[in-house]
């Protein structure tokens, strides 16, 4: 039973913490904020509830057997199993806060605990029968797992791993990007996703920036000479000719407006009736990024409304509201990033990346989004 319990713990950790890309920053600045996130009812709740119960069943069964060996009563076993499962699940949910691809939920903790308790109840009712037949089946299988079969199994596993890895790599490629899409700032081409805020400058590079270069990038305030080789475009709205690409590779931007334009010396203001669009499609940007399958997007900006939604488009290379290469947007206080890949589709929204509370205030900030071909 000890082996079963340990195996169950390892299986739970591997399943719940994948892909193990922990990010050393969280936006939960208070217990209240964390509680709201934990208690939010997610879509797909019923499927997750059943999966969580099944995942923790073996742990409850194994712990029930261990406690039974120590002559514990049924009530004590149920209490101890529930306490251990609750503690383990709570620890996992806290760690998932630092996993961008995972969602923390109180309902997961409750369903995990319930699954372990049901596992203990199954042991109490049918444990002897299950263990007896499992031992008989184990003896029959022992003769099957020879050195030859082990070697063959390893080869099959490696082949499946390579096949799965190549499939995942293609799913994360940028081969589906369309070179006919325009570059826009502050809205979609259709004009129905306006963003209200100011932008000082932005740039797109055709490589993923490692941490040391990111620091240099931000500290030097994005000087073109520091990264001239990989800069695809650089639009500096603090310059005398703010609508021209300082890298000289992309077409100039032009105003699309139904009202008065506010151009100030240190930034450009975007609102519901005015935004920027490239005179021609951003073909060079798309081709260069597709060639490297990497990019970095830098932008200095400030939102004027912390509750605007749509999501409101800040920077996008797209055809309309449903076809894009990438989109940086705002949904209330959260940053939303959509990326077109074979996995996420033309809209790039399944799934989309969300960074919470980035726009919780209207202060100027610098953002850097990087994609290295595997991780965003």
Of 92, 84, 95, 90, nearest to 59 by C-alpha is 84
Give the rounded distance of the alpha carbon of 290 from its chain centre: 21
DSSP state, residue 187: S
**pLDDT value of position 81:** 94
Give the rounded distance of the alpha carbon of 7 from its chain centre: 28
- Both tokens of 256, joined, read 């699309």
Greatest distance between any 2 Cα atoms in the chain: 82
- pLDDT per residue, tens digit, the chain (376 aa), is 777 888 888 888 888 877 665 654 444 444 445 555 555 544 444 557 888 899 999 999 999 989 988 888 989 999 999 999 999 998 988 887 776 556 677 888 999 999 999 999 999 998 888 877 776 766 665 566 566 766 777 677 667 656 655 555 566 788 899 999 999 999 998 888 999 999 998 989 888 876 567 556 555 544 545 556 788 888 988 888 888 998 889 999 998 876 555 555 667 889 888 899 999 999 999 999 999 998 999 999 999 999 998 899 999 999 998 999 999 999 999 999 999 988 888 888 877 888 888 999 999 998 989 888 877 7
**pLDDT value of position 101:** 58
**pLDDT value of position 26:** 45
- Both tokens of 371, joined, read 């994609």
Structural domain boundaries of the chain? 2-144, 182-371
Q: Residue 203 and residue 223: Cα distance in Å, rounded?
A: 10
**pLDDT value of position 27:** 46
**pLDDT value of position 11:** 86
C-alpha dist (Å) from residue 65 to 4, 61, 73, 292? 9, 6, 12, 55
**pLDDT value of position 156:** 78
- Both tokens of 316, joined, read 């996008």
Q: Is the peptide bond before 338 cis (omega within 30 degrees of 0)?
A: no
Residue pair 199/299 in contact (Cβ under 8 Å)? The answer is yes
DSSP state, residue 304: S
């Amino acid at each position: 039973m000890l082996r079963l319990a340990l195996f169950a713990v390892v299986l739970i950790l591997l399943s719940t913490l994948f892909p193990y890309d922990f990010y050393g920053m969280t936006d939960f600045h208070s217990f209240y904020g964390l509680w709201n996130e934990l208690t939010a009812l997610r879509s797909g709740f019923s499927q997750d509830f059943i999966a969580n119960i099944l995942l923790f069943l073996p742990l409850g069964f194994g712990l029930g057997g261990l406690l039974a060996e120590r002559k514990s009563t049924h009530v004590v076993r149920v209490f101890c199993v529930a306490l251990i499962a609750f503690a383990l699940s709570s620890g996992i949910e806290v760690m998932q806060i630092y996993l961008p691809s995972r969602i923390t939920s109180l309902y997961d903790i409750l369903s995990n605990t319930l699954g372990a308790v049901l596992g203990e109840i199954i042991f109490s009712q049918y444990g002897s029968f299950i263990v007896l037949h499992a031992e008989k089946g184990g003896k029959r299988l022992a003769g099957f797992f020879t050195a030859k079969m082990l070697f063959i199994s390893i080869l099959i596993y490696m082949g499946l791993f390579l096949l799965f890895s190549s499939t995942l790599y293609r799913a994360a490629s940028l081969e589906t990007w369309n070179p006919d899409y325009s570059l826009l700032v502050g809205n979609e081409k259709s004009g129905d996703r306006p963003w209200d805020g100011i932008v000082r400058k932005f740039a797109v590079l055709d490589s993923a920036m490692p941490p040391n270069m990111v620091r240099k990038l931000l500290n030097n305030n994005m000087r073109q000479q520091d990264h001239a080789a990989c800069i695809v475009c650089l639009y500096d709205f603090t310059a005398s000719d703010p609508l021209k690409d300082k890298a000289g590779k992309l077409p100039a931007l032009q105003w699309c407006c139904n009202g008065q334009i506010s151009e100030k010396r240190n930034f450009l203001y975007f609102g519901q009736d005015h935004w920027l669009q490239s005179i021609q499609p951003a073909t060079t940007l798309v081709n260069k990024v597709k060639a490297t399958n990497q990019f970095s997007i830098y932008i200095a900006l400030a939102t004027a409304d912390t509750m605007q939604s749509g999501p409101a488009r800040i920077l996008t290379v797209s055809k309309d509201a449903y076809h894009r290469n990438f989109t940086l947007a705002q949904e209330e206080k959260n940053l939303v990033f959509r990326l077109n890949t074979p996995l996420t589709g033309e809209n790039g929204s399944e799934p989309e990346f969300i960074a919470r509370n980035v726009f919780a205030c209207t202060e100027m900030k610098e953002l850097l989004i990087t994609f290295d071909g595997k991780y965003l």
